[in-house]
Structure 1
Amino acid sequence: MNKKKLINIAETWFSNQGWKAFAFQKQTWDAFLKGKNGLLNAPTGSGKTYALWIPIVLAYLKQNPNYKTKHRKGLKAIWITPLRALSVEIEQAAQRFANEIDSGLSVGIRTGDTPQKIRAAQKKSMPDLLITTPESLQLLLASKDYDKTFKNLQAVVVDEWHELLGTKRGVQMELALSRLKTVSGELRIWGISATIGNLEQAREVLLGPNSEAFENSVLIKARLKKKIKVQSIIPKKMERFPWRGHLGLHLLDEVVPIIKNSKTTLLFTNTRSQCELWFQKLMSKYPEFAGEVAMHHGSINKETRLWVEQAIRNETLKAVVCTSSLDLGVDFAPVETIIQIGGPKGVARFMQRAGRSGHQPGGESVIYFLPTHAIELIEASALQKAVKKQAVEDRIPYLLSFDVLVQYLTTLAVSNGFFPNDIWPEVKATFCFQTITKEQWRWLLNFVTKGSQSLQAYDEYKKIEIEEDGRFKVNNRGVAMRHRLQIGTIVSDAMLSVKYMKGGYIGTIEEWFVSKLKPGDVFTFAGRNLELVHIKSMQVLVRRSKKKTAKVPSWMGGRMAFSAQMSELLREEMYAASASSTVTSNAAGKSEELKALRPILDRQLKESIVPKQDEFLIETFKTREGYHAIFYPFEGRFVHEALGSLLAYRISLLSPITFSIAFNDYGFELLSDQEIDMQQVLDNNLFSEAYLMDDLYKSLNATEMARRKFRDIAVIAGMVFTGYPNKMIKSKHLQSSSQLLFSVFRDYEADNLLYLQSFRETFEHQLEEGRLRLALDRISGQKIVWKNCEKPTPFSFPIITDRLREKLSSEKVEDRIRKMLKSLEQ
Structure 2
Amino acid sequence: MIQYAQRFSEEESLEALNPKIRKWFKEHFKELTPPQYYSFKLIRLGKNVLITAPTGSGKTFSAFMAILSELMDLADSGRLEEKVYCIYVSPLRALNNDIYRNLSKPLEEIYSEFNADKRITIGIRTGDTEQKERQMQLKHPPNILVTTPESLAILLNASKFSESLKDLKYIVIDELHELANNKRGVHLSLSVERLAELCGHDFVRIGLGATLYPLEEAARFLVGYNNGEERECYIVDATWDKKMEFTTICPVKDIINTSDEKIESAIYKILDSIIKKNNTTLVFTNTRSGTERVVFNLMKRFKYSEQELAAHHGSLSREIRLGVEEMLKKGSLKCVVSSTSLELGIDIGYIDNVVQLGSPKSITRAIQRIGRSGHKFYDVAKGEIIVVNRDDLVECSVMLYSANKKLLDKFSTPMNALDVLAQHIVGMSLTKKWKVDDAYKLVRNAYPYHNLQKSDFIALLEYLSGSYVGLESRRVYGKIWYDEKEGAFGRRGRYTKIIYYLNLGTIPDEVAIDVYEGKRWIGNIEEEFLARLKPNDIFVLGGRLYRFEYARGM
TM-score w.r.t. structure 1 length? 0.61
Correspondence 1:484 to 2:501: yes
Match of 1:76 in 2: 85
Partner of 2:7: none
The answer to whether the aligner puts 1:17 opposite 2:28 as a matched pair is yes
Identity %: 30
1:564-620 alpha-carbon deviations (Å, 9 max, x no partner):
xxxxxxxxxxxxxxxxxxxxxxxxxxxxxxxxxxxxxxxxxxxxxxxxxxxxxxxxx
Q: Which residue of the partner structure matches residue 92 of structure 1? A: 101
Q: Which amino acid aligns with 2:295?
A: F
**What amino acid maps onto 2:193 in structure 1?**
S
Partner of 2:6: none
CA–CA separation in structure 2 for the residues paired with 1:450 and 1:486 = 18
- Contact 2:55-2:377 within 8 A present in 1 as well: no
Equivalent position of 2:8 in the other structure: none
**C-alpha contact 2:83 2:143 (8 A) present in aligned 1:** yes
State the Cα distance separating 1:280 from its structure 2 match.
Answer: 0.6
Residue 138 of structure 2: aligned partner: 123
Once the two structures are TM-superposed, the CA of residue 457 in structure 1 deviates from its matched residue by 4.7
Matched, 1:454 2:470: yes
**Contact 2:311-2:338 within 8 A present in 1 as well:** yes
The AA in structure 2 aligned to 1:264 is T
Higher Cα Rg: structure 1 or 2? 1
- Counterpart Cα distance in 1 of 2:202 and 2:447: 21
Q: Does 1:168 align with 2:183?
A: yes
2:369 to 342, 345, 353: 353
1:142 matched residue in structure 2: 157
Deviation at 1:336, TM superposition (A): 0.9
* Distance in 2 between residues matched to 1:195 and 1:503, nearest whole Å: 42
CA apart distance, 1:58:
2.0
How is 1:469-548 mapped onto 2 (pairs within 5 angstroms)? 472-476=490-494, 478-500=495-517, 502-519=518-535, 521-537=537-553
Residue of structure 2 in register with 1:426 after alignment: 442
Deviation of the 1:345 alpha carbon:
1.1
2-structure distance, mates of 1:41, 1:243: 43
What aligned pairs does 1:172-251 form with structure 2 within 5 A after superposition? 172-184=187-199, 185-209=201-225, 214-222=230-238, 225-235=241-251, 237-241=253-257, 247-251=263-267
How much is the aligned-residue C-alpha RMSD, in angstroms?
2.7
Q: In structure 2, the residue corresponding to 1:461 is in which secondary structure?
A: coil
Q: How does 1:311-322 map to 2 (within 5 A)?
A: 311-322=327-338
Asked whether the equivalents of residues 246 and 372 of structure 1 are also in contact (C-alpha less than 8 Å), the reply is no
Distance 1:461 1:246 in 2: 60
Partner residue, 2:62: 51
Residue 243 and residue 77 in structure 1: after superposition, are their counterparts in 2 closer, same or farther (change >3 A)?
farther
Against the structure 1 CA distance between its residues 520 and 327, is the aligned structure 2 distance closer, same or farther, given a 3 Å change threshold?
A: same
Change in CA separation of 1:72 and 1:364 when aligned onto 2, cut-off 3 Å? same
One-letter code aligned to 1:473: R
Q: Report the residue type matching 2:43 in the other structure.
A: F
Q: Is the 8 A contact 1:238 1:374 kept in 2?
A: no
Deviation at 1:370, TM superposition (A): 1.6
Cα deviation, residue 86, structure 1: 0.8
Secondary structure (helix, strand or coil) at the match of 2:17 reads: helix
Which residue, out of 5, 30, 39, partners 2:41? 30
CA distance in 2, matches of 1:392, 1:469: 45
> Could you tell me which residue of structure 2 aligns to residue 291 of structure 1?
307
Cα distance in structure 1, aligned partners of 2:329 and 2:403: 27
More displaced, 242-251 or 89-98?
A: 242-251
Paired residue secondary structure (2:354)? strand
Deviation of residue 458 (structure 1)? 6.4
CA-to-aligned-CA distance 1:135-190 (integer Å, 9 cap, x gap): 11111112124541320111111101111011001111110111122222141111
Question: What letter corresponds to residue 7 of structure 1 in structure 2?
Answer: L
Q: Per the alignment, in what secondary structure is the counterpart of residue 401 of structure 2?
A: helix
1:359 counterpart SS class: coil
Maintained 8 Å contact 2:515/2:524: yes
159, 170, 175: which one aligns with 2:174: 159
Q: For 1:660-717, what per-residue CA distance to the aligned partner results, in whole angstroms no more than 9, with x for missing partners?
A: xxxxxxxxxxxxxxxxxxxxxxxxxxxxxxxxxxxxxxxxxxxxxxxxxxxxxxxxxx
Q: Assess if the C-alpha contact under 8 Å between 1:68 and 1:104 holds in 2.
A: no
Question: In structure 2, what is the Cα distance between the partners aligned to 1:249 and 1:114?
Answer: 46
For 1:807-822, what aligned pairs fall within 5 Å after superposition? none
Partner of 1:438: 454
- Aligned counterpart, 1:549: none
How far is the alpha carbon of 1:53 from its aligned partner? 0.9
Tell me which amino acid in the other structure corresponds to 1:157. V
Does the CA contact (< 8 Å) of 2:220 and 2:447 recur in 1? Answer: yes
- Structure 1 alignment gaps of length 5 or more: 539-826
Distance 1:532 1:410, change over 3 A: farther
Say whether the 8 Å CA contact 1:145–1:416 is kept in structure 2.
Answer: no
Secondary structure of residue in 2 paired with 1:291: coil
1:104 partnered with 2:113:
no
Give the secondary structure class of the aligned counterpart of 1:252. Answer: helix
Could you say if the C-alpha distance between residues 244 and 213 of structure 1 is closer, same or farther in structure 2, counting changes exceeding 3 Å? Answer: farther
Which residue pairs with 1:690 in the alignment?
none
The Cα offsets for residues 20-57 of structure 1, whole Å up to 9 and x where unpaired, read as 11242131111112221121111121100001111112
1:198 deviation in Å? 1.1
Q: Tell me the amino acid that sits aligned with residue 95 of structure 2.
A: L
Higher relative contact order (CA closer than 8 Å, sequence separation 6+): 2
Which of 60, 77, 89 is 2:71 aligned to? Answer: 60
Contact 2:180 2:412 in 1 (8 A): yes
After superposition, the C-alpha distances for 1:42-77 in whole angstroms (9 at most, x for unaligned) are: 112110000111111223345x3x636453110110
Distance 2:369 2:392 in 1: 18
Q: Work out whether residues 245 and 373 of structure 1, in 8 Å CA contact, stay in contact via their aligned partners in 2.
A: no
Distance 2:272 2:185 in 1: 40
Aligned-partner Cα distance in 2 for 1:339–1:293: 14
Is contact 2:245-2:381 (8 Å) kept? Answer: yes
Deviations, residues 198-240 of structure 1 (Å, cap 9, x unaligned): 1110111221146688432211112663221123444355344
State the alpha-carbon separation in 2 of the partners of residues 432 and 31 from structure 1.
26
Query: What pairs with 1:303-382 in structure 2 (closer than 5 Å)?
Result: 303-382=319-398
Contact 2:363 2:399 survives alignment (8 Å): yes
Q: CA deviation at 1:266?
A: 0.6
Separation in 2 of the partners of 1:445 and 1:74?
A: 34
1:568-717 to 2 correspondence within 5 Å? Answer: none
* Matched residue SS, 2:187: helix
Distance in 1 separating the partners of 2:65 and 2:437: 38
Q: Amino acid of the residue matched to residue 163 of structure 1? A: E
Distance, in Å, in 1 between the alignment partners of 2:70 and 2:525 is 46
SS in structure 2 opposite 1:325? coil
Q: Structure 2 CA distance, aligned partners of 1:269 and 1:178? A: 37
Secondary structure at the residue paired with 1:432? Answer: helix
Q: Give yes or no for contact 1:154–1:187 (8 Å, CA) kept in 2.
A: yes
Structure 2: gaps spanning 5 or more residues: 1-11, 112-117
Matched-pair contact (CA < 8 Å) for 1:265–1:336: yes
1:443 Cα shift? 1.7
Q: CA separation of 1:380/1:440 partners in 2, compared to 1, >3 Å: closer, same or farther?
A: closer
Task: Tell me which moved more, 33-42 or 90-99.
Answer: 90-99
**Following superposition of structure 1 onto structure 2, how do residues 463-474 of structure 1 map, counting pairs within 5 Å?**
463-465=479-481, 472-474=490-492
